[in-house]
Amino acid sequence: MRALAILMLLALAGCASTSTPRIVNPAADFALYSPDPRIGFEPGFEAYAERVANVLPGAIAKVEAAHYLPFYRSPRVFVCGTDACFKRYVITPRLSAAVVPDNRLILSPNLNGREQARLEPLLVHELSHLHLGQRIGHYHTTLPVWFHEGWASLTANGGGAEYITDAQAAAAIREGRRVDLSQRDTPDVRHRAQAFKLTIYEFYRQSMLLVGWLRRQDEARFRELVLAVQGNQDFEIAFWDIYGTSPAMQLESFFVAAQNGDNIGAVPDTTLAAPAHP
């Protein structure tokens, strides 16, 4: 019961990356998209599957490059053309995409409708979560949420963090609302946006900028860190081994730069207008 509650809180916090599957076998709901058997689609929405097929190879390539490793298994992507289909798989149907714990990526009808421009970046974001989940499981407690979400958004060139600008993220920092990198997650406590008095959008953007700062300052050590994480090493221990200090100390220069108004951008700023419901 506690695990279910944690998953529900995670979804309500706005994360579009994991949920609880409500049907174990998807065969009854999805037809195989024959040109690309990695994709299943709700009958009647083959054109949506074709849209996904057009961007899936490039999305996979982006994720594998950002993770410095190939997928452990070929990813499976299922497209729901109706809300009813998506609700059968995902606890919080307001999400636009979700990775369910048995490593299936479910796309909502939103990405074939009012959010169709977000299809490619959100696909990359969720594939990043899926890539990591295949190796260490989803939302591993030794990996802080800020790094988990920031890495996925960075991989997607801002996908998932589009609703806040770098300047707005920096303004929150100057107001004293910033990710506290000294906080460690436990199986029962996950430090997300509310823990730092941030909106979900501010949290995603700050997290992406933090991870991007690490990569920009020293990509060789960043690569070593993420390979260690994907090898199931404890994040904090791996960080100390590689950087010789804590995440909070190493990234203090990021917060100083934000306070000073310096460039903290990790990717081109492609900010979108925030939706009415996250």
Across 170-192, b (16+ Cβ under 10 Å) vs e yields bebbeeebbbebeeebeeeebbb
More confident residue, 256 or 272: 256
Q: What is the pLDDT of residues 101-110, one digit of tens each?
A: 788 999 999 9
**Is 56:122 a contact under the CB 8 Å cutoff?**
no
Give the mean pLDDT of 254-275: 71
- CA 210 from chain centre, in angstroms, equals 14
More confident residue, 221 or 9: 221
Across 30-41, b (16+ Cβ under 10 Å) vs e yields beebeeeebbbb
Packing angle of the helix pair 145-155, 200-217 (nearest 10 deg)? 70
269 confidence band (pLDDT: 50, 70, 90): low
- CA 19 from chain centre, in angstroms, equals 13
26 confidence band (pLDDT: 50, 70, 90): low
Give the mean pLDDT of 17-41: 73
Domain locations along the chain: 2-136, 145-260
pLDDT of amino acid 57: 98
Identify the weakest region by mean pLDDT among 36-50, 56-70, 191-205, 222-236.
191-205
- Give the integer Cα–Cα distance in Å for 99 and 200: 19
How is 118-146 classified by DSSP, letter by letter?
Answer: GHHHHHHHHHHHHHHHHHH-TT-TTS-HH
pLDDT surpassing 50 at residue 177: yes
Q: What is the pLDDT of residues 50-102, one digit of tens each?
A: 999 999 999 999 999 999 999 999 999 999 999 999 988 888 767 899 888 78
- Give the integer Cα–Cα distance in Å for 249 and 176: 17
pLDDT > 70 fraction of the chain, expressed in percent and rounded = 85
The H or E element containing residue 97 is strand 97-100
Give the mean pLDDT of 248-269: 84
